[in-house]
Amino acid sequence: MSMSDSGATRLRRQLESGSFEARLYVKQLSQQSDGDRDLQEHRQRIQALAEETAQNLKRNVYQNYRQFIETAREISYLESEMYQLSHLLTEQKSSLESIPLTLLPSAAAAGATAASGGEEGGGSVGGRDHLRGQAGFFPTPGGASRDSSGPGEEGKQRTLTTLLEKVEGCRHLLETPGQYLVYNGDLVEYEADHMAQLQRVHGFLMNDCLLVATWLPQRRGMYRYNALYPLDGLAVVNVKDNPPMKDMFKLLMFPESRIFQAENAKIKREWLEVLEETKRALSEKRRREQEEAAAPRGPPQVTSKTGNPFEEDEEEAAAVPEVEEEKVDLSMEWIQELPEDLDVCIAQRDFEGAVDLLDKLNHYLENKPSPPPVKELRAKVDERIRQLTEVLVFELSPDRSLRGGPRATRRAVSQLIRLGQCTKACELFLRNRAAAVHTAIRQLRIEGATLLYIHKLCHVFFTSLLETAREFETDFAGTDSGCYSAFVVWARSAMGMFVDAFSKQVFDSKESLSTAAECVKVAKEHGQQLGDIGLDLTFIIHALLVKDIQGALHSYKEIIIEATKHRNSEEMWRRMNLMTPEALGKLKEEMKSCGVSNFEQYTGDDCWVNLSYTVVAFTKQTMSFLEEALKLYFPELHMVLLESLVEIILVAVQHVDYSLRCEQEPEKKAFIRQNASFLYETVLPVVEKRFEEGVGKPAKQLQDLRNASRLIRVNPESTTSVV
């Protein structure tokens, strides 16, 4: 044995020991290693050991799985034989119990006397059974019982008549000839998802169907029809006890399922056994009927009325091809082993192989008749198809790992489409991707800088949406166009998820209007990437953000109005002195960026500006608001933005107009008139021009505001501001 083999063996024993602790092992390994290289080598050895263990486990599973299938088949055979043995023992017990009554006249006479005098002596067992059969089949509340009526048609009809009298609304459903009651009892129904108690019900098992009726509290002993399930489409599943939920079983009826709870474990076992026995008896009865219907009929016993023997030969010759058409060769080895091969494929997750086998069978049976052997094979295959569908559905469930992106779902989706489950595949694929997008958004770390977080959010969401759209187009190409409608609906729902996270970070946290504008701009730019695949969701972004943007514009408008009013209240109507040429140059650049190109004519000697500080501050704040609002603009916000601008401008021009009328000093009045001229002739045209450039059409309200010589007529005798 080499040193490497001995080291691997020693490492394996160390990892398999019962006292192994991973944290202590890593700590010791870190202390003993000389550096990163030793740790890398040790990691490679552990990885190789893990791969070797996985291969051995896989090999053992493959070697033993065939034996497992054979064992399961033997168990099934043994279970069938046990049922037969139990039935034989029950018949033997009944025969032995009847022997004393047959051989001993005295015992028989005593039994007859006890039956006739049941009121005096309490009655024998046989007498009680007889009375029970006469009284009907309904048990006391909380109990369950088999039908104890005689096996004759009269007894069966009597029990069915009693059922029709006790259950409202089911008479038209139970008129099948030969139908009779097998078993009945009280049950409690539970909700399948959350295991919440729903209602009390009573189950009536007939020889070909199961009737579920609800209790009528106001009418004791009476029931109302709830549902009727044919036994050939019903599957019974035992639900494992999980206290306090116990004594339950599930009924599967495509596409729904219901969970019921029995009073105790004994009654639950009786329900399961009787359901299986009744289903088996019904299946056997129908199989015999099919065989009798498919069996060739012998020649008629009556002689020909015409006396022509050739007519009989022609009738027999015409009947032979009909019998031969019913024969389908199912003796081929691959068909005989098909159910077991499908089980192996499902267990080994070879979904493609399973669907290939199903396609091969469907191609072979295409345009062929369906005699009983073919129907029996179809029944077995349909059960495997159901199992395969359940496995594929689980592969696409959000409970599975969401790593790997949309391509990780392609395998399961393609096989569901091949099975004819295109709609289900589309629904599960989109549900899986919705969970993946939700998880990706939730795992994003909320950074201190809002704009940085929005960049990450847009990248994660729109990249996932783009990948999902491309994968959807690949998987569902050539399928029903209804799937594409489902994708558009899903995309809108996903966009709502994105906007919720976006608004919570941008608008709920009261960010500035400039920050909100930048964030919306980033979202629009990422949304335009979807145009590469022919998907335009920009209008959805607008529709979902319109309320938040309206709120932001209204809030920022109120801030500007309050600030302007505060400056107006402290207005002294004095020229600005910026003190330094640098400050003056900076102001000129700011006004130029605002669109005021003729600001030079309002500057004086040195660092003086022939305008009021209030008017200059109002101009900068208004133009900044307009620029940021135009970044957020889309048609639904046109009137909101226009009305906000008009309200802001009115605050300034009303104050100037009022000051001009109230001021008596000629020098100050001339200075106020100069500020008013700046507002009307410079600022308002710039606002109007910039609004038209950003929106694409002129605003009549702004034109009227600029052309008015006086915005508000103030009473000359009044000295109170109307602002």
The candidate with the shortest Cα–Cα distance to 261, out of 347, 142, 425, 177, is 142
Highest mean pLDDT among 107-111, 169-173, 545-549: 545-549
Q: In what helix (H) or strand (E) does residue 318 lie, and over which residues does it extend?
A: helix 309-325
Asked if residue 137 has pLDDT above 70, the reply is no
User: Cα(659)–Cα(569) distance, rounded to whole angstroms?
Assistant: 11
Are 498 and 491 a contacting pair, CB within 8 Å?
Answer: no
Please give the pLDDT value at position 304: 44
Top pLDDT among 148 and 620 is at: 620
Please give the pLDDT value at position 268: 92
The DSSP code for 66 is: H
Please give the pLDDT value at position 267: 93
User: Cα(255)–Cα(258) distance, rounded to whole angstroms?
Assistant: 11
- Both structure tokens of 452: 């940085």
User: Cα(580)–Cα(603) distance, rounded to whole angstroms?
Assistant: 13
Are 648 and 560 a contacting pair, CB within 8 Å?
Answer: yes
Q: Where are the alpha helices (DSSP H) in 443-481?
A: 450-475
User: Cα(95)–Cα(279) distance, rounded to whole angstroms?
Assistant: 26
Asked if residue 652 has pLDDT above 70, the reply is yes
> Strand 256-261 and strand 181-190: pairing?
antiparallel
Q: Over the chain, what is the mean pLDDT?
A: 77
438: amino acid identity, one letter: H
The DSSP code for 139 is: -
Binning pLDDT at 50, 70 and 90, where does residue 516 land? Answer: confident
- Both structure tokens of 468: 């999902």
State pLDDT tens for residues 288-298: 888 887 765 55
State pLDDT tens for residues 235-269: 888 888 887 788 899 888 766 889 999 999 999 99
Are 463 and 404 a contacting pair, CB within 8 Å?
Answer: no
The phi and psi torsions of 716 (rounded to 5 degrees) equal -60, -30
Mean pLDDT on 169-190: 80
DSSP per residue over 15-37, as a string?
HHSTT--HHHHHHHHHHH--SHH
Q: What share of the chain is helix, strand, coil (3-state, %, to 5)?
A: 65, 10, 25
Top pLDDT among 145 and 2 is at: 145
Are 388 and 416 a contacting pair, CB within 8 Å?
Answer: no
Top pLDDT among 511 and 644 is at: 644
State pLDDT tens for residues 532-579: 777 777 888 888 888 888 888 888 888 989 998 898 888 888 888 888
Asked if residue 188 has pLDDT above 90, the reply is yes
- Both structure tokens of 491: 């995309």
Mean pLDDT on 441-464: 84
The candidate with the shortest Cα–Cα distance to 530, out of 543, 541, 517, 514, is 541
258 bridge partner residues: 251
- Both structure tokens of 555: 């809030």
260: amino acid identity, one letter: F
Are 183 and 274 a contacting pair, CB within 8 Å?
Answer: yes
Asked if residue 37 has pLDDT above 90, the reply is no
Binning pLDDT at 50, 70 and 90, where does residue 121 land? Answer: very low
The phi and psi torsions of 167 (rounded to 5 degrees) equal -115, 125
Under DSSP, is residue 228 helix (H, G, I), strand (E, B) or coil?
A: strand
Binning pLDDT at 50, 70 and 90, where does residue 111 land? Answer: very low
> Strand 608-612 and strand 223-230: pairing?
unpaired
The DSSP code for 241 is: P
Task: Please give the torsion angle defined by the CA atoms of residues 261, 266, 269 and 275, in that order, rounded to the nearest 10 degrees.
Answer: -80
- Both structure tokens of 334: 């691959």
User: Cα(617)–Cα(590) distance, rounded to whole angstroms?
Assistant: 11
Mean pLDDT on 688-699: 85
* Least confident among 148-157, 349-358, 428-437, 706-715: 706-715
The phi and psi torsions of 189 (rounded to 5 degrees) equal -90, 140
Are 721 and 663 a contacting pair, CB within 8 Å?
Answer: no
**Helices then strands, each counted (H, E), the chain:** 25, 11
The candidate with the shortest Cα–Cα distance to 197, out of 205, 185, 184, 188, is 188
User: Cα(450)–Cα(502) distance, rounded to whole angstroms?
Assistant: 10
- Both structure tokens of 271: 């329900």
Mean pLDDT on 378-404: 81
User: Cα(378)–Cα(395) distance, rounded to whole angstroms?
Assistant: 25
Asked if residue 634 has pLDDT above 60, the reply is yes
